[in-house]
Structure 1
């Protein structure tokens, strides 16, 4: 299959070349072209992803495209004649114009689109620029409608994704999506402004995706990619990927204050640095802003959590010339907290502690992260765009945990301390060109990149946060080199094929401070082909069939010890799906997909114990359904339904369950949305009961929760309130079947459900002012 796939790509390249300059791809001398830029009429900022449709007289010669990173678009190789051009972006007013193109003419336009109230009638289901983003219409709607009040609200913007907090609020959330318990991120790739969030070879768990360094008020957009079908993503992108981007500019400065139950306080400031046409580096369009956030809460546990978090961020975006833009971003995040740990059910039944109590209340930790990145985007002659990004992150992590209580040490307890300090260096570069293959549109993308993680990591024993011994420690070095080639060809006016392959090469090194036998070096490579088809039945219906290989890496400490076993490094995944995004009526947008995903081996480095667990081969299949409906001009409804079925391959019936893998999840709500006056939202979350071990003898408990948000806006002021768990139900967040021992119990301990209790009824109010 891989060989045939490469032959297809080589055939395309032989005809057109990687940058579309062969004679077959050249325009005819009598052909016309149309290019232009789209900007926001208020801020003047160039808009990415605005859809454009060009139709010849009588509906002939139809073509679609979308604006690039510089807000630019181009239609090439056009026959002379009369055309109608229409531009539309979600939340922006549409514009239509009739044009006459003469032979050999290269016409240029600049359009300014005004912001308008959200209308689902304007949503288009085809994604001409990024066909792999089949959830684009859904996520664009959610970004406008769904309330985001904390960093924990950002990841659940991904349709079908659920999170659970382990303890204390300072750790990365546990993630559930498409039948996966991906722990803290082993199978879901997360990034923000091109910065990778997932941490390789992390002290607490592979793929650790701590998203708390992001200020939610600065987030502008989210692109969701489910499955391993997109060449841009490599490590961890098996169940999917989420690309977040922050705002290019802020229309007004903002100050916001929140106060809630459990001593909760939060303050946010966004400051526009370049108001009223001021400039820093050039006389072209520029924007810059600063953002800060401070959060404190004692949470709802009996032992106060003393959770504190500070975020600071600055971002600059500007046009250095008509063809070149520069983005600079810097941020710093720090957080400290105490935690109560997981609760064993038997301790609550016996009355030893309450649901919000603790066996060991000396857990907790601290973490910080500093980021710096620069992105240079240049439009070259010939309708090509080059994007280059360099980034650096400095990261520290310190965590005290106790999951087994007194199982290993009946006198002093089993507390552990996980620490690491990390430097991340990275570069990504892409070259993208819109060309022609005969008279058909061809977009070629070439990408290269590297990421280096230089880490010092340790796992130690501790008693009440005092270290008593070392289990494993030493420096880790991990580097990923990658490249990919992607071709998107319009075979007909309705059918598009997207074909790609990606190559990844990893270098793993670990030097154990105490044991040479656990030290070493290993290398491993992966080639991941992708093949996707998209068929626009009409402007209201797009069908798709997608397939691709992917992988997730494993912890370097496990890889070097087991370097003779290739599965220990980069276990492969293969996925495929069919589905559709369609509008049965103008105000209803639906996305449906039937999917399957096979993993070669689910290997997990257990940072809490310093060892590797393997669950062998697995297979999953499921159905995703997302619907967004506009009931009236200001009233909207949404619903996500996700069914998943997963089992281990090669295990006996009844012993082949995948622990904690959800089989059914659902999210939905009704939202009243107005630019001024009253806005409100009532939402529910449901996750079903599921096996907590391979034998289904212990069950993790599901839940159904109601949340509400209300706000009132007048002029520059807004007041509001958020209520979580309106029905005040008892529910569990993170849940595990764990072998633990309480004082006085037999040495072998007891295996049963341990959980982190979910939030009881919680309410907070907020007030903000724009200036």
Structure 2
């Protein structure tokens, strides 16, 4: 009898410990909250909610104490009274950095982006990219052209070495009229962005083309807390208005509409005549079976004039001012219409499938003059770059939690770009085509599949992944005397391997290893007959995430990146330029500190050593590769109705040519913003460059000839950065 008694107690105890509890966590508005941490305070087990707010916590029995916590919400502690499905609601609260914990998450930089968005909300489309630590941008065409991007020692041009997406839809344009990977993010209304997913390097199997220096994924809000209408006005005849209308906000459905209009003459001597309109609508629904559907539609149109890049000599001799122009007829127009569908299907508690499908219609027309009268002393060197493109694609990803230790992902997708009448021509006054330099139709398809496996054991997380990309490039040369449609195919395999060791909720070490690539322009592919046209990269990151004090977070890494031989298509000249092997190595450092409940300090510093491997020492510099970058800021959040920030960004001197005999001068710019909220009304002031520093936002070493010159001159050509620029913002919410 005694044996049977103890055996029964053992069985009951084992059964109790092997129980699990499931539930859902929602916000105060009834919307599900993802990535909420649920901890069993007795057995120290934990779980996170999925995209539908659902969770399953193992080894939990009646009577256990649970803690539910999420950044920006009041932490709850509950005692489990039954094993029925739990329904938990979290209330929002003032942001406290001490509640941010270090967890087994390979993409810990996403936590940093959450912090930055919480204390420094974006106010324009340029701020979106600047949320990536160490990423710098430069605008050099009147505000309508995509920004030039610098990251990890790369002059990414307009996106060649950084993968950019919005709601899973690619932003980068392959075989673009102006440059490979061209990423124009201006179709995004900043106020609609909910979170930013980013990381540096090419360490994740679900990220493919252009993921060299890193990737950035913007995700828009599924629902609005309220409706709002804002007006912004300031110097240089600048006006912007944004309307956000909450159309539907039920427990399982939401819908909203957002509209933006902006116009400005700009700070240049020649008026920029810039205007842009953005329209965006999104519907989200949660099914009774846990499936989730979102549909988004957007339309964007922009046109502008530009002063273009100007030579140092014309400013130094007084021919033009720092904000002047040699050819004020530059500029262009562009537009994009998108349809995006996302469907997350729940198979069971441990399995779901994420699906994304998209359709984009895109047009682009740009007029530039980089060399003035170098090639045509009579008519000038103005060029037109134009295209008309349709993009269709989809991606599906199967996720299954095989056990507490194993997580499996399998994905596949397709992207097709049909780019008609891709043109480069020599023009006069934006009207007359003097000569077609290049004209053709590009049809490019990328098929891909990938898989990854996460293994978690104790303090370790090991992630392995493998990606396969297949490309078919097609180009019809419309300038050829006879019909010709050249095609090439190419495939590339990209393995990944990552290690994460979480010593505790305050200290974490990581080692990331991966192979990546970026595709080359189709015109390069056919010109090179398919040889060396998917240049691969090999990279490694070794670093830590550390919370030395409750309200301080430090993240740092040393890294290395090798880039193989590639051929570059220069869209401004319709020529192919070879470049050899390169290597980059550096150090990243990030610091976040909450001094008080309302005062925050953030700093990001990067150092990069970038060199060409094939060239001799002293002639191996990579032009325009950043060496030192620093971003530093102080932010106030919710201090008796006041919020604001003081932010400084520093870009050091960098080589402008291969032997570093010409230097692109760095800059240090400080911006300021303040906002006061009283009930439903807020009033704010944004000031760019509060010290009115005269600086060069973009710089290039270019050979050019002015109208009165007999011989060409090679020197720095630049676009001036904004002077002191103040804007007043009024906003009403209901």
Normalising by structure 2, what TM-score? 0.95
1:721 corresponds in structure 2 to 685
**1:83 Cα deviation after fit:** 4.3
**1:485 Cα deviation after fit:** 0.6
**1:687 Cα deviation after fit:** 0.3
* SS at structure 2 position matched to 1:121: helix
Aligned equivalents of 1:207, 1:347: Cα separation in 2:
32
Aligned equivalents of 2:77, 2:651: Cα separation in 1:
45
1:35 corresponds in structure 2 to 22
2:39 corresponds in structure 1 to 53
Among candidates 294, 297, 301, match of residue 334 of structure 1? 301
**1:125 Cα deviation after fit:** 1.7
1:389 corresponds in structure 2 to 356
1:24 corresponds in structure 2 to none
2:96 corresponds in structure 1 to 119
1:157 corresponds in structure 2 to 131
Q: Within 5 A, what are the aligned runs for 1:8-157?
A: 31-41=18-28, 43-55=29-41, 57=42, 60=43, 62-76=44-58, 78=59, 83-99=64-80, 108-126=85-103, 128=104, 131-157=105-131
Superposed CA offset, 1:686-738 (max 9, x none): 00000011111111110011110001001000000001111111101111001
Q: Within 5 A, what are the aligned runs for 1:681-720?
A: 681-720=645-684
1:170 corresponds in structure 2 to 144
Superposed CA offset, 1:525-561 (max 9, x none): 1111100011110111111111000000000011011
Aligned equivalents of 1:79, 1:289: Cα separation in 2:
40
Cα pair distance change 1:254/1:675, threshold 3 Å: farther
In the alignment, is the contact (CA less than 8 A) between 1:132 and 1:230 conserved in 2? no
Cα pair distance change 1:94/1:465, threshold 3 Å: same
* SS at structure 1 position matched to 2:549: coil
Aligned equivalents of 1:550, 1:332: Cα separation in 2:
32
Q: Within 5 A, what are the aligned runs for 1:638-657?
A: 638-657=602-621
Q: Within 5 A, what are the aligned runs for 1:491-570?
A: 492-515=457-480, 520-565=486-531, 567=532, 569-570=533-534
Aligned equivalents of 2:396, 2:527: Cα separation in 1:
33
**1:149 Cα deviation after fit:** 1.6
Aligned equivalents of 1:253, 1:207: Cα separation in 2:
35
Superposed CA offset, 1:142-185 (max 9, x none): 01111422111110011111100012100000001111110000
In the alignment, is the contact (CA less than 8 A) between 1:675 and 1:713 conserved in 2? no
1:663 corresponds in structure 2 to 627
Normalising by structure 1, what TM-score? 0.91
Matched, 1:220 2:206: no
1:744 corresponds in structure 2 to 708
Aligned equivalents of 1:141, 1:635: Cα separation in 2:
13
1:20 corresponds in structure 2 to none
In the alignment, is the contact (CA less than 8 A) between 2:38 and 2:57 conserved in 1? no
Aligned residues: 718
1:352 corresponds in structure 2 to 319
Matched, 1:371 2:371: no
**1:517 Cα deviation after fit:** 10
In the alignment, is the contact (CA less than 8 A) between 2:598 and 2:639 conserved in 1? no
1:619 corresponds in structure 2 to 583
Aligned equivalents of 1:732, 1:518: Cα separation in 2:
44
1:416 corresponds in structure 2 to 383
* SS at structure 2 position matched to 1:511: strand
Aligned equivalents of 2:222, 2:106: Cα separation in 1:
24
Q: Within 5 A, what are the aligned runs for 1:269-288?
A: 269-275=243-249, 277=250, 285-288=252-255
In the alignment, is the contact (CA less than 8 A) between 1:676 and 1:715 conserved in 2? no
2:721 corresponds in structure 1 to 758
2:365 corresponds in structure 1 to 398
1:253 corresponds in structure 2 to 227
Aligned equivalents of 1:70, 1:550: Cα separation in 2:
32
Matched, 1:432 2:399: yes
* SS at structure 2 position matched to 1:152: helix
Aligned equivalents of 1:74, 1:406: Cα separation in 2:
69
Aligned equivalents of 1:727, 1:301: Cα separation in 2:
18
1:635 corresponds in structure 2 to 599
2:552 corresponds in structure 1 to 588
1:10 corresponds in structure 2 to none
In the alignment, is the contact (CA less than 8 A) between 1:676 and 1:714 conserved in 2? no
1:480 corresponds in structure 2 to 446
2:210 corresponds in structure 1 to 236
In the alignment, is the contact (CA less than 8 A) between 1:261 and 1:763 conserved in 2? yes
Cα pair distance change 1:326/1:691, threshold 3 Å: same
* SS at structure 2 position matched to 1:354: coil
Aligned equivalents of 1:517, 1:499: Cα separation in 2:
47
Cα pair distance change 1:547/1:720, threshold 3 Å: same
Aligned equivalents of 2:271, 2:397: Cα separation in 1:
48
Matched, 1:310 2:274: no
In the alignment, is the contact (CA less than 8 A) between 2:489 and 2:530 conserved in 1? no
**1:564 Cα deviation after fit:** 4.3
316-325 vs 399-408, which moves further: 316-325
Superposed CA offset, 1:647-699 (max 9, x none): 00021111100110001100011111007611121110100000011111111
Give the gaps of 5 or more residues in structure 2: 1-13
Superposed CA offset, 1:222-242 (max 9, x none): 011111001110000111111
**1:30 Cα deviation after fit:** 8.8
Aligned equivalents of 2:224, 2:81: Cα separation in 1:
38
Give the gaps of 5 or more residues in structure 1: 1-26, 278-283
In the alignment, is the contact (CA less than 8 A) between 1:517 and 1:561 conserved in 2? no
In the alignment, is the contact (CA less than 8 A) between 1:199 and 1:209 conserved in 2? yes
2:426 corresponds in structure 1 to 461
445-454 vs 108-117, which moves further: 108-117
In the alignment, is the contact (CA less than 8 A) between 2:284 and 2:294 conserved in 1? yes
499-508 vs 147-156, which moves further: 147-156
**1:80 Cα deviation after fit:** 5.9
In the alignment, is the contact (CA less than 8 A) between 2:20 and 2:61 conserved in 1? no
**1:194 Cα deviation after fit:** 0.9
Aligned equivalents of 1:595, 1:434: Cα separation in 2:
31
Superposed CA offset, 1:449-472 (max 9, x none): 100000011111101112222111
Give the superposed CA RMSD.
1.8
Cα pair distance change 1:100/1:496, threshold 3 Å: farther
In the alignment, is the contact (CA less than 8 A) between 1:189 and 1:235 conserved in 2? yes
In the alignment, is the contact (CA less than 8 A) between 1:258 and 1:765 conserved in 2? yes
149-158 vs 669-678, which moves further: 669-678
In the alignment, is the contact (CA less than 8 A) between 1:646 and 1:661 conserved in 2? yes
* SS at structure 2 position matched to 1:154: helix
Aligned equivalents of 2:466, 2:77: Cα separation in 1:
38
Superposed CA offset, 1:71-95 (max 9, x none): 222235x376864432222111112
2:180 corresponds in structure 1 to 206
* SS at structure 1 position matched to 2:240: strand
Aligned equivalents of 1:506, 1:79: Cα separation in 2:
49
Aligned equivalents of 2:485, 2:152: Cα separation in 1:
36
Aligned equivalents of 2:85, 2:462: Cα separation in 1:
29
1:598 corresponds in structure 2 to 562
In the alignment, is the contact (CA less than 8 A) between 2:16 and 2:60 conserved in 1? no
In the alignment, is the contact (CA less than 8 A) between 2:21 and 2:60 conserved in 1? no
Matched, 1:295 2:262: yes
